[in-house]
Structure 1
Amino acid sequence: MPSEFTPDPQLYPFTSRWFDSSRGRVHYIDEGTGPVIVFFHGNPTWSFLYRNIIAALRDRFRCIAPDYLGFGLSERPSGFGYRIEEHASVIGEFVDHLELDQYLSMGQDWGGPISMAVGTDRAERVRGVVLGNTWFWPTADLPTKMFSAVMGSPPMQWAITQRNFFVERLIPAGTATRLDEAVMVHYRGVQPSPRDRAGVARMPKEILAARPLLERLADDVPAKLGSKPALLVWGMKDFAFRPGPNLPRMRAAFGDHVVVELPNASHFIQEDAPGQIAEAIINRFG
């Protein structure tokens, strides 16, 4: 079943659209005209995360933002494993269905590896890359490995599914600005029951479990997308993807890159600095 949540049209002033993938029904928005940019969300968010960026860009870009299966308004299909490989396969189908060519992609958090998995398989159709507070290589640092192991443990899996831990605790912890209650309702409302949170619960396990995919991307992204124009927008207050260890590796992957530091933004850069991000995209790709 897709989520039955109805977004507030004041906060999410977009038309809902649907794509019947081979694995389940994908919700997405497709707004504006011009060069195509596809937005890839992470965990535990959905296309709502990009609402302010899309509102700022849709007068000059065609902005497309899907919700992965198990997230946002998309279906929670039985038999879907919610592995990163599976998400990338479904969104790849979606990109092919829309016949997107010369598209830009933006990925943050798990949207980085997913957008890069989709993009490396379709490199000739990718015009450019936007990445922020993300990664696409196997995790080497101990704190991230510990995060994956702890969040994958039975007590924390219970907290994620039964208490909505990721939404209630990690979204506020990952934003430098205090989100108002109406915004939190939109993150909370799309996953009202424990069953709705299976996708959210799976993603932290994937930091370690998706190692084969991440090993492949570590080679494929520089080889297949490294010559594309890239924009790196980075929240400098992020506790998860600190600029020191991560930005140099991002810079090294893309020969033609521009870095825009977001000094007051934390992990969820789309909430903390949507105007700066939209301006950076216009300056780089408009």
Structure 2
Amino acid sequence: MTIDFTPDPALYPFESRWFDAAPGRLHYIDEGAGTPILLCHGNPTWSFLYRHIVTRLREHFRCIAVDYLGFGLSDRPADFGYTIEEHARTVGALVDHLGLDGFVTMGQDWGGPISMAVDVDRADRVRGVVLGNTWFWPADNLTMKGFSRVMSTRWMQRAILERNFFVERLIPRGTARGLGPREMDHYRAVQPSPGARRGVAEMPRQILAAEPLLRRLAADVPTRLGAKPALLVWGMKDTAFKPGACLPRMKATFPNHVLVELPTAKHYIQEDAPDVIADAIAERFG
């Protein structure tokens, strides 16, 4: 399945690019020049989430924002499993295709585990990491486990697939500022039907199902990436990845870190505080 949608250039002023990964065609943008930074989204978002950060950074950075298969403008292959392991493999293939070296990654929500999986396999080419409102270890609290189990029930899977629950309910709840109608339409338009939402529906199940990958990352990230310069940008009003539960482990993993607290931001920090995040990236890695 392909997505027939052209973003409004006033909101998304970027050239669409395509990579023919083995499972399907991957959409991404590649804007600017300088230190490459790979921007990895979560659920149910796409590269549109990073639009303000890219426009602010592209004068000094090469900004690459990808849509995973099943998200954004990328294909929805019928035989793809939409697991986190598969997403990391296809994003890693894009990194290798582009020949990125000395690159930085940013991951938020599922973009954290996906970017970390890409990085640990290419640690010698990674310059630094940016992480915000995310994790990379097996679910270790009742909130995450309960969310995964509830979202995996038949009733909630139907709500996600048939009523676009993640876009209609969780994006508004996860942003401190109210998104405008045209912005919400850009999130709706790339998830137009139940068949287009299989990737969105699978991600909450992966919180528990991806435990083998998350267990490997819990061991490999500190040993292979722990010495890298890190930037932690954290929405302090996020109820999913509360700072008190996540930041101590992040800070312990990356001793060479800078922490930027976003006091009013909720889960989708790229929507709530893009300028602060972009400026922090420029200061840390510019």
TM-score range (shorter-chain normalised) is: over 0.9
Partner of 1:116: 116
Amino acid at match of 1:96: D
**Equivalent residues in 2 for 1:188-227 (5 A)?**
188-227=188-227
Amino acid at match of 2:200: V
Partner of 2:60: 60
Q: State the SS of the aligned residue for 1:75.
A: coil
Partner of 2:151: 151
**Equivalent residues in 2 for 1:173-188 (5 A)?**
173-188=173-188
Partner of 1:80: 80
Amino acid at match of 2:283: N
Q: State the SS of the aligned residue for 1:129.
A: strand
- CA positional deviation for 1:3: 1.0
Partner of 1:280: 280
Amino acid at match of 1:200: V
Q: State the SS of the aligned residue for 2:106.
A: strand
Partner of 1:18: 18
Q: State the SS of the aligned residue for 1:23.
A: coil
Inter-partner Cα distance in structure 2 for 1:31 and 1:222: 30
Stretches of 4+ moved more than 6 A in 1? Answer: none
Q: Could you report, residue by residue, the CA deviation over 1:21-52 in whole angstroms, capped at 9, with x for unpaired residues?
A: 01100000000011100000000000000000
Q: State the SS of the aligned residue for 1:7.
A: coil
Inter-partner Cα distance in structure 1 for 2:140 and 2:18: 38
Under a length normalisation based on structure 1, what TM-score does the superposition of the two structures give?
Answer: 1.00
Inter-partner Cα distance in structure 2 for 1:126 and 1:258: 17
Inter-partner Cα distance in structure 2 for 1:146 and 1:97: 38
Q: State the SS of the aligned residue for 1:159.
A: helix
Partner of 1:136: 136
Alpha carbon RMSD of aligned pairs, Å? 0.4
Inter-partner Cα distance in structure 2 for 1:178 and 1:21: 36
Identity of aligned residues (%): 68
Under a length normalisation based on structure 2, what TM-score does the superposition of the two structures give?
Answer: 1.00
Gaps of 5+ in 2: none
- CA positional deviation for 1:266: 0.3
Tell me the matched-pair count.
286
Partner of 1:98: 98
Q: Quick check: 1:29 aligned with 2:26?
A: no
Q: State the SS of the aligned residue for 2:28.
A: strand
Q: Quick check: 1:266 aligned with 2:279?
A: no
- CA positional deviation for 1:221: 0.4
